[in-house]
Amino acid sequence: MRDQIARYAGKLLADRSALPGHIAFAAHDDVLLSEGHPKLARLCEGVLSSLSCLGLAAARPSLPFADFLVRRAGKEASRIVPQDTETRTFLHDIPFLRRDELGNDAPARIADLLGSRKGMIAEGLGIVAAGAVTVEQAYIHYSSIFHAAFVKYLLDVLSEGFRLPGEREAFEEFRRSWLRPLDAEGLAFRGAPLEAPEEILKEIAAVGRYTVERGLVDSFFGNISLRAGGTIYISQTAASLDDLAGRIDPVPMDNSSTTGITASSELLAHRRIYEESCGRAILHGHPKFAVAMSMVCEEKGCSVTDCWRDCDKVRWLGDTPVVAGEIGAGGLARRVPPVIAGPRKAMVYGHGVFTLGLDGFADAFRAMVDVENGCRREYFRRLSPKLAG
């Protein structure tokens, strides 16, 4: 159990989603144990002791966006409703407790909320997330809430500007020092021909790791595949991009075996992309600026209300097509393949980016970096009047 805690505390540091020194976990084996920042660790123990869950994470996020969202929310609000697919699909919305609601018995109040939810924001304390089955699950829920708050804050600032004292300064500090340039410099990619299964598995694991190490995406959401002959080698469902060794399924293109029932939920999308293009490698992740910008839609007089599911337009962000469609069997697999073959990249509304490599991952990786960099540039270009104002 302690090794699990060390591992996921390490991931929160590596992906820079939590403030160093302000991370704690608790886990419930036959006894309750906790590690990390003493006050947060006590909080974790207090919360977990009244929950029938295995793990709990509490950490102060490295950015103040979650707290800003709580303070920007209306007086009556008890939750924020981010529009990205991770939230929409898995979290639904994110409940919060304000500083004055936490009162003197924060553990009890938080446990009460987590009795029916996967994670929450405690103003002034941080993000608290539960894992029913594993410590990893608590980490995943923390990471999703961090992602959702990040994307929502970008969009809220873009549409509503800054409202609170200190917000603008914090945002400028985020842009200056938290954001780091994204590039593919110095990464080694194997070129064609990649045919030997051993080579393929190694390359997929390496490239998956690059996407996380370079800060392009968070570790848990996303998938990656390579086609060789009649086989698609694809990352498994619920596998982390930076930990794919032993978690890649070889799936025959002709569905003659169902071993790939454990493959990524986007297997169908990957297969159709291969069928409709001459690509050999596919990368999919949720880079945050791309997720945010995919939802900036300027259509006027549109009658669609469920944009994620029902929008059948192809919009363009620069030279990248943007389509809608929910995860898995929910429509993304129908709308991405027709638009990706030419530009070899595509964005999905509120969700993320798919890129296609012609003979390996080098061009797919660069394309994803370019899409996210392009979205960052476009975001700040649109925000500049507000930053100046």
Partner 1 sequence: MENSPLTGWHGTLLHVDLAAGTSRVEPIPRDLLLGYLGGRGLGVRLLRGAHTLDPFHADMPLIFAVGPLCGTPAPTAARLNVVSRSPLTGTVYDCSAGGRFAHRLKAAGFDALRIVGRSPRPAAISVTPEGGEILPAGSLWGKSVGETVRALEGRGSVAAIGPAGENGVLFASILMGEGNAVGRGGLGAVMGGKNLKAIAVNGSRSTGIADRARFERARQDVMRLFRASPVIFGELGISEYGTPALVDLMRQRRMAPTENFRKTVFEGSGSYSGPSIRKAYGSKKDGCHGCPIQCKKSDREGAHLPEYETVSHFGALNGIDDLGSIVRSNRLCNELGMDTISAAATLAAWGEGRGRFPAADEVEGLLADMAFLRGEGGLLAQGSRRVAQALGKPGLSMSVKSLELPAYDPRGAYGMALAYCTSNRGGCHLRAYPISHEILRKPVATDRFSFSGKARIIKIAEDTNAAVDSLVACKFSFFGATLEEYAEMLAAVTGEEFGPQSLKEIGERICLTERFYNCANGFDAKDDRLPERFFREPGSSGEGIEIPPIDEKRFDEELRKYYRIRGLTPEGTFSDPGYLSRLP
Q: Which residues bind Zn ion (CB under 5 A)?
A: 352
Cβ distance to Zn ion smaller for residue 331 or 352: 352
Decide if 333 contacts 325 (C-beta within 8 A). yes
Q: How far is the CB of 59 from partner 1 (least distance, A)?
A: 19
Of 257, 209, 249, the C-alpha closest to 232 is 249
- C-beta separation of 162 from 96 below 8 A: no
Closer CB to partner 1, residue 164 or residue 196? 196
Residue type, 344: R
With CB under 8 A as the contact rule, the residue among 149, 205, 267, 375 that binds partner 1 is 267
137 binds, among Zn ion, partner 1, none (CB under 5 to 8 A by kind): partner 1
DSSP assignment of 44-87 equals HHHHHTTSS-SEEEEEEESSTHHHHHHHHS-TT--EE---SHHI
Residue (33 or 317) nearer to partner 1, CB = 33
Q: Does 1 bind partner 1 (CB under 8 A)?
A: yes
Q: Which is nearer to partner 1, 4 or 294 (CB)?
A: 4
Burial 276-293 (b: 16+ CB within 10 A, else e): ebebbbbbbbbbbbbbbb
| Partner whose binding site includes residue 236, from Zn ion, partner 1, none (CB under 5 to 8 Å by kind) | partner 1
Query: In terms of CB distance, is 90 or 380 closer to partner 1?
Result: 90
- Residue 324, classified by CB atoms within 10 Å of its CB into exposed (0-12), middle (13-18) or buried (19+), is buried
DSSP 182: -
Count of residues touching partner 1 (by CB under 8 A): 51
Residue from 29, 100, 195, 198 in contact with partner 1 (CB under 8 A) = 29
Question: Rg (Cα) of the chain, in Å, rounded?
Answer: 21
231 binds partner 1 (CB under 8 A): no
Q: Which of 257, 302, 319, 377 binds partner 1 (CB under 8 A)?
A: 257
Binding partner at 133 among Zn ion, partner 1, none, C-beta below 5 to 8 Å by kind: partner 1
Subset of 271-300 contacting partner 1 (CB under 8 A): 271
Least distance from C-beta 139 to partner 1, angstroms?
Answer: 10
Per CB under 8 A, does 89 bind partner 1? Answer: yes
Q: Report strand pairing: 231-235 vs 248-252.
A: antiparallel
Closest C-alpha to 73, from 90, 102, 93: 93
When the beta carbons of 17 and 223 are compared against Zn ion, the nearer one is 223
Binding window for partner 1 (CB under 8 A); candidates: 119-127, 148-156, 189-197, 253-261: 253-261
Structure tokens at 338: 């027709």
- List of residues 6+ apart from 382 with CB closer than 8 A: 158, 296
Residue 36: CB minimum distance to partner 1, A: 18
Q: Which window, 75-83, 102-110, 322-330, 362-370, contacts partner 1 (CB under 8 A)? A: 322-330
H-helix segments, the chain? 2-14, 38-48, 65-72, 85-86, 99-102, 106-114, 135-160, 167-173, 197-213, 267-276, 288-294, 307-310, 332-340, 361-388
Nearer to partner 1, 36 or 260 (CB): 260
Q: Pick the piece of the chain touching partner 1 (CB under 8 A) from 75-83, 172-180, 324-332, 369-377.
A: 324-332
267 binds, among partner 1, Zn ion, none (CB under 5 to 8 A by kind): partner 1
Between 170 and 307, CB nearer to Zn ion: 307
Task: Give the 3-state DSSP-derived string for 251-309, with helices as H, strands as E and coil as C.
Answer: EECCCCCCHHHHECCCHHHHHHHHHHCCCCEEEEECCHHHHHHHCCCCCCCCCCCCHHH
Phi, psi of 46, rounded to the nearest 5 degrees: -60, -45
By CB under 8 A, tell whether 88 contacts partner 1: yes
Query: In this chain, which of 327, 340, 347, 371 binds partner 1, going by CB under 8 A?
Result: 327
Supply the minimum distance, in Å, between the C-beta of residue 122 and partner 1. 18
Residues near partner 1 (CB under 8 A): 1, 4, 27-30, 51-54, 88-90, 92, 114-118, 131-134, 136-137, 140, 236-239, 247, 251, 255-265, 267-268, 271, 326-330
